[in-house]
Structure 1
Amino acid sequence: MILEIIRNRRSIFPAQYNDTPITKEAIETILEAANWAPTHRKTEPWRFRVLQGETLEKLGLFLSLKYLETEASPKEFKAKKLIENPKKAGAIIAICMQRDPNKSVPEWEEVAATAMAVQNMWLACTEMKIGAYWSSPALTKYMGEFFEMADEEACLGFFYMGNYDKDIEIPEVTRTPIAEKTVWL
């Protein structure tokens, strides 16, 4: 049932991934789920770049060097983490949003549609027992230096994915009752 998948969705981080590769077929299924997100005026603004293998190492090096170059007081542990985390992933999908050239909808609606595409990806990963985590560092604004991007395209973050040992401890999550967040008029 979809509600059970929604309730079981969790962030599973690169440190929890094992070395089992993610198949191209699994990634294609996850991207197909993204493609069915709602989109106002059918602009379908989501764009993805799939990074695997050596490209993950190159991404980590790029992010770390860009962090050291742009941060006023860089921290060594963060620079190292930027290098290491991508190498732990089975794949990273760069999450991008292509602005409608006609600007037929407000930009926030295209960002929201892209976020819904990512939610679909996350739910597909949950069902497929693939760990996933959406990272959105400020460094995404420099991604046009790492891969080619179209005019009016923005990188919104990275969707880390990795297989994980099913016996890892995933914390129980609770939510406050929806009644506390709802006003019936």
Structure 2
Amino acid sequence: MQSINIETESFLKLIQSRRTCYQFLSKENHPIEEQKLQNCLQAAIWAPNHKLTQPWLFWVVGDEIKPELADIYADNRATKKSQTDPDCYEYFYEKALQKFLAIPQVVLVGQKLSENEVVKNEDYAACACAIQNFHLMAWQQKIGVQWSTGPIIKDVRTYQKLDIQREQIEIIGALYMGNIDENCRPKIPPKRKPVNEVTTYLK
């Protein structure tokens, strides 16, 4: 593989500038380019993982299955929001349904589960690193991403749609992604504790 020289300052700025995005340009006018999506997936699978377990799995949601997942998403949202007023279920359902369908691209991320608890924890950390790689590659391409851990990834119906067994594979995230307006990128970074407050140098 050809080595790529990235200036340290530029790379640090990329990491510092990355944000979770909730608003995307319309998928009709600004669809996610297939090559850019592949770049994100390629970046993801190069995450560090102990003993090369490569525990991650990805499902790129297409147009046929998306309405079915949207139904699961909307049902969960509406059920929760209408607990105090069941008459509002249909309103919240339709609102959530349209919200999900408007997301330009959805990618589900799963973790192959090990019977060994230590390996299982290490593998989750590896999958989180993979998602961070995915985020950074997307951001570099002016694509925003939200890593959601909402009810849709816990719902038994989602597992049925993907034809997977919860004892073998756990869905750990739904990545909602879309192109973003360059002018809408947040300019002020969120506050972070200084390095010297969270770092101890041991002698």
TM range (shorter): 0.7 to 0.9
> Alpha-carbon deviations, 1:58-96, whole Å to 9, x = none?
211122224556889277576445423322222111011
The size of the alignment, in residue pairs, is 183
CA distance in 2, matches of 1:78, 1:41: 46
CA distance in 2, matches of 1:10, 1:111: 22
Would the aligned equivalents of 1:16 and 1:168 in 2 still touch at CA under 8 Å? no
CA distance in 1, matches of 2:141, 2:92: 31
TM-score by length of structure 2 reads 0.79
SS state at 1:44 partner: coil
TM-score by length of structure 1 reads 0.86
Aligned AA for 1:7?
Answer: Q
Aligned AA for 2:24?
Answer: Q
Kindly tell me: are residues 38 and 84 of structure 1, through their superposed partners in 2, closer, same or farther at Cα, counting changes over 3 Å? same
Q: Which residue pairs with 2:193 in the alignment?
A: 176
Q: Percent identity?
A: 26
Q: Which residue pairs with 2:105 in the alignment?
A: 91
1:178: how far off? 1.3
Would the aligned equivalents of 2:32 and 2:105 in 1 still touch at CA under 8 Å? yes
Would the aligned equivalents of 1:132 and 1:160 in 2 still touch at CA under 8 Å? yes
1:137: how far off? 0.8
* Equivalent of residue 142 in structure 2, options 105, 129, 153: 129
CA distance in 1, matches of 2:24, 2:122: 33
Q: Which residue pairs with 2:32 in the alignment?
A: 22
* Equivalent of residue 61 in structure 1, options 53, 59, 71: 71
1:57: how far off? 2.8
SS state at 1:10 partner: coil
Kindly tell me: are residues 82 and 95 of structure 1, through their superposed partners in 2, closer, same or farther at Cα, counting changes over 3 Å? farther
Aligned AA for 2:146?
Answer: Y
Q: Which residue pairs with 1:39 in the alignment?
A: 49
1:107: how far off? 1.5
Q: Which residue pairs with 1:49 in the alignment?
A: 59
Aligned AA for 1:47?
Answer: L
Unaligned runs of 5+ in 1: none
Query: Greater shift after overlay, 115-124 or 18-27?
Result: 18-27
* Equivalent of residue 6 in structure 1, options 15, 29, 43: 15
CA distance in 2, matches of 1:52, 1:38: 28
Would the aligned equivalents of 1:18 and 1:164 in 2 still touch at CA under 8 Å? no
> Alpha-carbon deviations, 1:118-144, whole Å to 9, x = none?
000000001111111111113312221
CA distance in 1, matches of 2:162, 2:93: 21
CA-atom RMSD, angstroms?
A: 2.4
Kindly tell me: are residues 118 and 71 of structure 1, through their superposed partners in 2, closer, same or farther at Cα, counting changes over 3 Å? same
